[in-house]
Structure 1
């Protein structure tokens, strides 16, 4: 029976690639959107072939791998650089602006729910933006550097805010627990610098291929251990997965493309698509149908809340046209928004109907904002006139 419920999920996971590949390259959707849509089709509100509860453990592992890979991509020293500092200011402004707008517009007056929505509004889909930046040859230009730095803060900031503000204990208790948890993570991250472990590294290097795959097995131990510890200390599992990725980066050589390919193969080849399909199955489409204006309202709010601060904070380092593009890119959100809203619903801090509308809005930002940014474009040589050192 379990395999009968899993089969539609893995079929959607495979078909999503074919659907994306069949689209014109100029208008090709991120596979995340297709996976969510496929989940809706096979879920309880449509064909009823499967449900989130049928693939719960695999979905949780998919979420874990998603944020492990996100943490792995982030340079721990990014906050000390100009681009990182600007990204932090923009994110804090987004969070505060989101909370204020929710209160003024009377969309949500309950503090836990408003906090969860404000955090969700301040996220950025860095994993979706990186391939887009590569396609447009922006990755190593000032605009691309600012997008990557802002996106990194737009992933780390909401995760920490979720752990502190929406944990099972009070804020002071959460801060104390987070400090202890972070200290343990720092010790783990610095272990390779303190102890060279030459013999251990040599032994593991001989067991990295074939049936051994020692680095991947150790990665799984690290991931599950930090997931378990995060939840034990009252935090959401997302925090443990994200920090596991940052620890893993400190353990790995600077350039370890083969290992990164293996991580992508396990994560995106097996578990992460199941997470997104499961999230699609859990969407309450009837709630979106009852208030069709709400997803559109959330799209506008996301653009103002997440994109608006870019127009102010980057005014000294980017021309107006590039600031508009930066605003559109940083307001593109979905994977983290899906995970955070799902966790908030499970914790009882967010209404499932509002969560579905938020996810629908996130899907719309992925569909629309990168295309708008491409349409806005930048004049020839605009970015090259900026001081590249400002971003680094």
Structure 2
């Protein structure tokens, strides 16, 4: 074995990922997503502060798999059977308004020399962290209420739209948007063919019998199939010049359709969540924290930039919930706006992509992630308080 190869840094990152839930458990009244503390842990123990952990090859690889799993699991949460009717239509319209607002505001910022890549930042600020939104709605007992339905619809449409736009406009091969659009259509056709093939394969009685026989053995064949689909989609997306995240998200959405008829579906979901959220996804967030450039936040101008980005995030995601007022109370609409303005996971992903292709500087990425971090700390507790009063 190469003398330079070591798993020490990966061990330390794993220890941080293990410790975060315990820290949260000691403070049950503090409603903070684990991703927030994972980022903070990466900042504290990474190169910027204590410098106890380095990003070496094993850590880098596991982090890359982590972002792939994060988007795959996000795609699996997209359920169009639930998102239909007024909720789906108004959620999609709310996302379009958010995107147009963000683009308009960021173009003005560019004119004053405040940003260099307005489209990337606008796309990043138009998303919502569905993984943070759902627990707040569930804890408030309003997950299946009109408030929950409209919030999830708007959040899901934003997540889907921003991932597609990020993959379309910020491909690694630098092709023009027109070429990327053609490639995206071809990629979509392949995705449909993959869906039909997987539905046929997994729906066969012989296949189902094998699944049932091997499910509770060390083979874990359904989990293996999910990982094969995830990696295959990432490889194909990269081959077409897109970011792998576009492939993994669509793979998750496709796989969610494939598994609808599977037996003991809840057990399978727990298994695949355990693989992703048990290890790979936390590693991605810890490593993302280790990459942050804290020097970029030390001046008053830099702090002001973070606060302005946070305000823009709130405006572009909360303002469109006016479309929901016909169906929600004022308190529910306000809470929905706060939840839809909660945006951490996708901001981190967008910054990772942007830095990888040179579309955003490390200082700009740090400011964007800091704004997302604040949104995840501030907005969900406020929304929970509003919804709790509404439910009471």
1:361 to 341, 366, 371: 371
1:205-257 CA deviation, whole Å, 9 max, x = no partner? 21122211111111111111111111111111111110111121122135610
The answer on 1:38 being equivalent to 2:56 is no
Say which SS state the counterpart of residue 253 (structure 1) adopts: helix
Distance 1:337 1:189, change over 3 A: same
- Equivalence for 1:128: 132
- Equivalence for 1:172: 178
1:304-344 CA deviation, whole Å, 9 max, x = no partner? 01111112x22322232221111111001101111111111
Distance 1:156 1:107, change over 3 A: farther
What does 1:130-145 correspond to in 2, within 5 Å? 130-145=134-149
Say which SS state the counterpart of residue 67 (structure 1) adopts: helix
Say which SS state the counterpart of residue 143 (structure 2) adopts: coil
Give the drift of 1:77: 4.9
- Equivalence for 1:319: 329
Instruction: Select between 248-257 and 57-66 the one with higher mean Cα deviation.
Output: 248-257
What does 1:267-346 correspond to in 2, within 5 Å? 267-290=276-299, 291-311=302-322, 313-346=323-356
Distance 1:202 1:324, change over 3 A: same
C-alpha distance in 2 between matches for 1:351 and 1:213: 42
Give the drift of 1:82: 1.9
Say which SS state the counterpart of residue 6 (structure 1) adopts: helix
User: 4+ residue runs of structure 1 moved beyond 6 angstroms?
Assistant: none
CA RMSD of aligned residues (A): 2.0
What does 1:57-206 correspond to in 2, within 5 Å? 57-77=61-81, 80-106=84-110, 113-167=117-171, 168-194=174-200, 196-206=203-213
C-alpha distance in 2 between matches for 1:286 and 1:82: 46
Distance 1:222 1:192, change over 3 A: closer
What does 1:238-249 correspond to in 2, within 5 Å? 238-249=245-256
Aligned residue pairs, count = 380
1:223 to 209, 219, 230: 230
What TM-score, normalized to structure 1?
A: 0.92
Give the drift of 1:27: 2.0
Distance 1:274 1:90, change over 3 A: same
Paired residues of 2:140 and 2:391 also in contact (CA < 8 A): no
C-alpha distance in 1 between matches for 2:191 and 2:121: 28
